[in-house]
Amino acid sequence: MKQFLLVFLGGGLGSGLRFLLGKTFNNTFQNFFLGTFIANIIGCLLIGFIIGLSFKNNLLSSNQTLLLSTGFCGGFTTFSTFALEQHSFLKTGDFVNFAGYTLASLIIGILAVAAGFWFSK
């Protein structure tokens, strides 16, 4: 039950922060969901850093890792919102932004995870 509550707390905090980023940045650029993009990239960086600290340096307990990675990062990042936004690009025939947003999210996300691991050293 303790682990469930840790994930619940972390997920709530992550989801709340993602909501604020979306409200603040999703209308900044026309046809680009900057708030979701920022959340996903920062979440990738954080999860790499958290797991790196947990495994490489043994600085976090299993409960802290669960709170931060599964809870916070899981709530903060979102594939479902990303997919919904991608659907809106396809629905309007905006294939350039669809491709750009997909590639940028995947490539920069993977690089951010690697950077997180590197920062945890």
- Domain layout of the chain by residue ranges: 2-119
Q: What are the tokens at 98? A: 């669809």
The span from the CA of 37 to the CA of 9, in Å, is: 23
Sequence-distant (6+) residues with CB within 8 A of 56 are 117, 120, 121
- The answer to whether the annotation marks 78 as part of a ligand binding site is no
Looking up tokens 């599964």, which residue turns up? Answer: 70
Structure confidence by residue, pLDDT tens digits, 29-88: 888 889 999 999 999 999 999 998 888 878 899 999 999 999 999 999 978 778 878 998
- The answer to whether the annotation marks 11 as part of a ligand binding site is no
pTM higher than 0.85: no
Sequence-distant (6+) residues with CB within 8 A of 112 are 41, 42, 44, 45, 48
Structure confidence by residue, pLDDT tens digits, 77-102: 978 778 878 998 999 999 999 999 99
Query: What pLDDT was estimated at residue 83?
Result: 86
